[in-house]
Chains A and B, each alone.
Chain A
C-alpha cells in the first residue's frame, strides 16, 4: 500500500498538479516565454473558450466520445457480450480473440492498418466496395475515426459487460421469458437495471480514455482543416507542434473538467444507485 501511495504521489499527483499549474502560465517550450514564463491566471482559459478552433475541437470531441465510446463501444461491446453469453465453442473464442486483438495491438501499428483499409486510391475497403477514389478519411473524417475507435476499443466494454452479464441471474431472464417478454423487454426490465453499476464504470472509463485518445492523429492528423481535430490532437498540435505548453496544460485541465461533467451526467442518468445495484 505504502509504495503504491508514494508512486502515485510522485508520478501522478505531483506532475498532474504541476501541469495544472502550468495551465495558469504562458509557458512555452522555446522562445522568450520559455526563459521567463509569466503567470497569466485564467487567460489561457478565456482564450481557449473564445477560440473557434477550440470550440470546434470541443464539439468534435463530444461527438467523438458520444459516437465512438458511449454509443459505439458500449453498444457494440454489449451486443457482442450479449450474443456470446452462454455460447461455448469456437465462435466465442474467435470473436473474442479478434476483438481483443484490435485492443492490444500497438496504436502505431493499428493506425497503419486503418490507413491501408481506408486509403482513397488503393485502400482495401474501396477495392471491396468497388468505390475507387472514395476518400473516406477526407469526406467523412469524423465518421472514419469514430468507426476506427469503435474497432479499437470495443474489447474493454465487451469484457466488462460479459462479466456483468454473468451476474444477471438466469432465473430473472427466464421469469421474463416465461411471461412472454421479448428480447428488448428482457433487456429493459431485467438486464439493464441489474448491470447499471457496470454500465456506469464502463462509461466513466471509456469516456475518459476516449477523451484522451490520441491514436486518430496518425489517421487524419486532425484534418482535413481541423474537421477531425479532437481535443487530444488539438493539445498535441498546440503543445508539441506549437510549443504552447501552458495553453496545452490549460486545455488538459478543461478536458478533466468536461470529464467531470460527463460523470455527473452519467450518474444522473443512472440515478446514482450504484451501491444498491451492484451485487
Chain B
C-alpha cells in the first residue's frame, strides 16, 4: 500500500512541477494586457481594458491579424496538400535512397529558413513578381516547411494498413479517389498536426514577410508587433502585451478546435 502511495505522490509531484514549469511564463500574458501600467513584472493588474482600446487605435492591428490568418491558412493548406501527396507517394513507392533524399531536403530547408537565404529568396520573389503579395510569402514559407511536413506525414502514411487502399482498388477506385476517400480521412489527425504546426510556424515568422512585403496593410502580426517600439527601440509594453494576447488567441483557438475535432497526435491513423 505504501508503495502505491509513494508512486502516487511521486507522480503528483512530477505533474505539479511540469505544470508549474509550463504555466509560470504564461502568467505575464494573462496579467499584463489588463494592467494600466504594465511592466515586465507579473503582478495583480490595476485592472483596465484601456490597453485594448489604445491598441485598436493602431490602424494596422486588426488588418495584421487578418493577414496573419490569410498567410497562415494559405501556407498550411499548401503544405498539407502537397505534403500529403508527396508523403503518400513516397510511402507507397519504394525508391532506393528515399529516406536519405528526404533528409537532404530537410537539411536544405534549414538553409532556406535561415537569415543568409534572404537575398536569394528576395531576388527569386522579385523575378517571379511576387514582391508585396501574400502569395509570395505563402510560397516562400511553404517551401521551407514542406520537407519536415513530408517527413512527419510519411510516418503516418506508413502506419496505415494497405488493406483499406487495396480494398478500394478492387472496387475500382482511382489513385486520387483512394487518396480522397480513404487515405486522407485515415491520416486526418496527422494532417491536423501538420496544419497546426505550419500555422504556428508561419504565425511567428518575421523576416520573410518583412522583406517580401511593402504595404503594411498586407503585413502579418509578427511584423506589426515589431512596430510597437519607440524611436529609441524601447518596447511599449502596454501595447505589446495586449497585442501579444490578441495575436496568440487565434492560434490557441485553432489548437483547441483542431484537437477537439480531429485529435492532435502523431501516427496511427484512427484506431479501429
Contacts and interface: CB of A to CB of B under 8 A. Distances in A.
Tell me if chains A and B make direct contact, with any CB pair below 8 A: yes
Interface of A: 1, 3-5, 7-8, 10-16, 18-20, 22-23, 27, 29, 76, 79-80, 83, 91, 94-95, 98-110, 112-117, 119, 122-125, 127-128, 151, 159-160, 162-164, 166-167, 201, 204-205, 208, 211-212, 214, 232, 235-236, 239-240, 245, 248-249, 251-253, 255-256, 259-260, 263, 274, 278
A105 B105 contact: no
B222 interface: yes
B92 to A, nearest CB: 11
A16 B15 contact: no
Contacts, number: 246
Nearest to B90: A1
Tell me if A's interface is mostly helix, strand, loop or mixed: helix
Interface stretch (B45-53, B111-119, B165-173): B111-119
Contacts of B147: 8, 12
A101 B116 contact: no
Interface of B: 11, 14-15, 18-19, 21-29, 32, 39-42, 78, 82-83, 85-86, 89, 99, 103, 105-121, 124, 128, 139-140, 142-144, 146-148, 151-152, 155, 158, 193, 196, 199-200, 203-204, 206, 221-222, 225-226, 235, 240-241, 244, 247-248, 251-252, 255, 264-268
Given A100-B264, A108-B222, 6 more contacts: A19-B116, A105-B204, A106-B225, A108-B204, A112-B235, A167-B268
A171 B222 CA distance: 49
Given A4-B86, A98-B23, A112-B240, A105 B116 contact: no
21 contacts: A4-B146, A8-B143, A10-B139, A12-B147, A19-B117, A27-B119, A80-B18, A95-B18, A102-B26, A105-B204, A105-B252, A106-B222, A106-B247, A109-B225, A116-B28, A117-B24, A117-B28, A159-B264, A235-B116, A236-B115, A263-B103
